[in-house]
Structure 1
Amino acid sequence: RIRLIVSLFIAFLLSSVFITNRRPAVSSEAQMTSIFSTIFISFIIIGVMSITTVLPVMLKIRDVFYLHRAAGMTDHRDLNQALAVAEKRFICLGSACFCLVFYFTIGLELSFNKFLAFWGFFTFNLALYSYFGQAFMCSVRGMATAQILNSVFIGINNFFSGLIVRPQYLSGFFLAPYYITPGHYVYEGLIVSQFTGDYRLVTTNEGSEYDDWVRALPAEDRPYCPSAQPCEETQYCCPTDCCGTVEQFMDSFFGGFFNAGNLLQDILVLGLFLVTARVMTYYSLKFFNYTST
């Protein structure tokens, strides 16, 4: 219950920044960057809360399990299944509560399919942090070591999910952690599912990467740059000499790495990560015993 209340509070706190200017017809580059950053912060914060709160509970469960197994009362298969089922309620409910507040307050599109996609990827994220927290606690002897593993997991997701260092600026060795980071697939799913096909306008800053990106597009793909039509004859009025769309801003911001063609891949990879976490927990419970009995 406490975790749900905290989730609701964080959802409103993060999204309320945009409550007075929800879903404007014309945005600036700074506004769009702020929205992308807030979505990133939201899944990171909730993930960190999930993985840190699961550790102490998992430690107690694990140590009691060792005693019960020694007495022949249970085995690793039963506990592994119970852990997956017990956490499922919080994962689904916590994600739904967070998304209901965050999604509509920040001003994302009023579309059932887009909301469902946002909730789905957010649920994946919450499940990954929860189940990897269980796996780490079952894999090592004490809380201190599990917290180190958690810190590494959190740090990798912070750095390689695609915002702090965007994928177009990674090369060589650093592309490897980008492609094996769960947060990359969560973040791509959250962003692409919301902003693909979004034709609201984004004004360009002269000389910016986005400005160069839009001006380099074929003429038919940049009808607002320069604005050749009177405002009353267009769906949106570009207030400057050059505008692109939200979808084009997304393409420019992530260098074309985030695109709708990757959504199925994102879902499959996140599913594989979940299976990895459950298998890791299963074999850790089967082969390790860190309590003297």
Structure 2
Amino acid sequence: MLEITSPSIEAQLKLDFAEVYSRSSLYMKNQEMIKEMSFPAPGSMELAFSTKYALNFIDQCVACFWKQYWSYWRNPQYNAIRFFSAVIIGLLFGTIFWGKGKKTDKQQDLFDLMGAIYAAVFFLGFTNSTTVQPVMAIGRTVFYRERAAGMYSSMAYAFAQLSIEAIYIGVQSFVYSLLLFSMIDFGWKVDKFLWFFFIIFMCFLYLTLFGMMAVAVTPSHHISGIVSSFFIGLWNLFCGFIIPKTMIPRGWRWMFWANPVAWSIHGLMASQFGELENMVEIPGWWCTPGLLGTAGRRCVGYTVEVSPC
């Protein structure tokens, strides 16, 4: 039909199909039908629903969750990259810092371990935040259409996204934590491993959710990549590793306290080394475990006497 009514056919037949249709009986019949249906029948009521959505909030969350489940299951490229990166980066950092977890006799040993934790937290977390953005940008178009149709609310969709991401990130974090914890050798204690896994999991989760939020508040994932890179750069700068907290100018020190990555690094250091009481060698200072007083400073389980050698 479209081929017959094309402009080239009209030129060959020297006809204007729009004009022919406007003079036809079919056109007059359709116009009469439009006028008839433009006014409600006597005694009829306007179409109305008791609720905005056909399902309650719980059922919306369940439906959206299964929608996200199948969407993620049918996207092996995204999930394969996620787990492949976790294994490769875990093996990389594990071999670089092999057996460093029990070497805490020198200040440099603690710096090495802090660097390992900083790299472990930031490198894969930033990768998660970046790779999730194109996936969310594709799903956003479908979300707009289905929300406009009244299928579910924005909150139900957000809960479903959080739930499905938490499952995949949980598996990724467990594999990553198992590799790092065993190869760096922090000491096989259940509470230490659980704290390590929990903090790594929460760190990856909030960085991934930050990438999703960046897509939600920007027109495209290209712009969201720029926005998220800016904030992640700030978090990297003020996390306390590149610039120690005491060296940050007072006017900018609030950036350290408001930095989630800084709290993740602090939590990992405290959970793995906070209970240690052995002596540590710091160049230029005497360091004695358990020493208290006005001249003492506590640092990762150690009390450092501020007196030059």
TM-score by length of 1: 0.69
Offset, 1:78: 2.6
Partner of 2:291: 221
Secondary structure, counterpart of 1:41 in structure 2 = helix
Structure 1 counterpart of 2:254, one-letter code: A
Matched with 2:143 is 65
Q: Structure 2 unaligned runs (5+)? A: 1-79, 293-297
Kindly indicate whether the alpha-carbon contact (under 8 Å) linking 2:106 and 2:282 is maintained by their aligned counterparts in 1. Answer: yes
Distance between the aligned counterparts of 1:12 and 1:62, measured in 2?
A: 35
Structure 1 position 5, deviation (Å): 2.1
Which stretch shifts more, 158-167 or 192-201? 192-201
Once residues 290 and 206 of structure 2 are traced to their aligned partners in structure 1, the CA distance between those partners, rounded to angstroms, is 42
1:235 corresponds to: none
Letter aligned with residue 221 of structure 1: L
Quote the offset at 1:12 in angstroms: 1.5
- Where does 1:86-105 land on structure 2 (aligned, <5 Å)? 86-105=164-183
Separation of aligned partners in 1, 2:290 and 2:140: 61
Q: Using the alignment, how far apart are the partners of 1:28 and 1:174 within structure 2?
A: 30
Q: Quick one: distance in 2 between partners of 1:247 and 1:16?
A: 26
Runs of 4+ in 1 over 6 A off after TM superposition: none
One-letter amino acid of the structure 2 residue matched with residue 177 of structure 1: M
Report if aligned partners of 2:125, 2:207 keep a CA contact under 8 Å in 1: yes
Q: Which residue of 2 aligns with 1:231?
A: none
Give the aligned partner of residue 56 of structure 1.
134
1:164-179 superposed matches below 5 A: 164-179=242-257
Residue 200 of structure 1 contacts residue 245 of structure 1 at CA under 8 Å; is this kept in 2?
no
Distance 1:21 1:87, change over 3 A: closer
Q: Is the CA contact 1:29–1:202 (under 8 Å) kept in the aligned structure 2? A: yes
Q: 2:102 aligns with which of 23, 39, 44?
A: 23
Query: Residue 76 of structure 1 aligns to which amino acid in structure 2?
Result: S
The number of equivalent residue pairs is 221
Specify every segment of 5 or more residues in structure 1 that has no aligned partner in the other structure, as ranges. 223-243, 253-293
Q: Conserved in 1, the CA contact under 8 Å of 2:130 and 2:211?
A: yes
Find out whether 1:13 has 2:92 as its counterpart: yes
Amino acid at match of 1:5: F
Name the counterpart of 1:159: 237
2:118 paired residue number: 40
Q: Which residue of 2 aligns with 1:248?
A: 302
Among 201, 208, 211, the alignment partner of 1:123 is 201
SS at match of 2:116: helix
- What's the Cα RMSD here? 2.4
Which protein has the larger Cα radius of gyration, Structure 1 or Structure 2? 2
User: Quick one: distance in 2 between partners of 1:28 and 1:220?
Assistant: 17
* CA gap 1:103/1:116 in 2 versus in 1, 3 angstroms: same
- Which whole-Å deviations, capped at 9, do the CAs of 1:146-176 have from their partners, x for residues lacking one? 0122112211221111111111112321111
- State the Cα distance separating 1:55 from its structure 2 match: 0.1
User: Is the CA contact (8 Å cut-off) linking 1:19 and 1:106 kept in structure 2?
Assistant: yes
Counterpart Cα distance in 1 of 2:99 and 2:198:
27
Structure 1 position 135 matched with structure 2 position 213: yes
Aligned match of 2:260 in 177, 182, 185? Answer: 182
Q: Which has the higher contact order (CA 8 A, sep 6+)?
A: 1
- TM-score, normalization by structure 2: 0.66
* SS of residue paired to 1:203: coil
- Quick check: which one's helix share is greater? 1
Identity between Structure 1 and Structure 2 (%):
24
Provide closer, same or farther for how the CA distance between residues 82 and 245 of structure 1 changes in structure 2, counting only shifts above 3 A: closer
Give 3-state SS (helix, strand or coil) of 1:96's partner.
helix
How far, CA to CA, are the matches of 1:12 and 1:173 in structure 2? Answer: 39
CA–CA distance in 1 between the matches of 2:94 and 2:215?
33
Contact 1:23–1:107 at 8 Å: present in 2 too? yes
The aligned amino acid for 1:19 is W
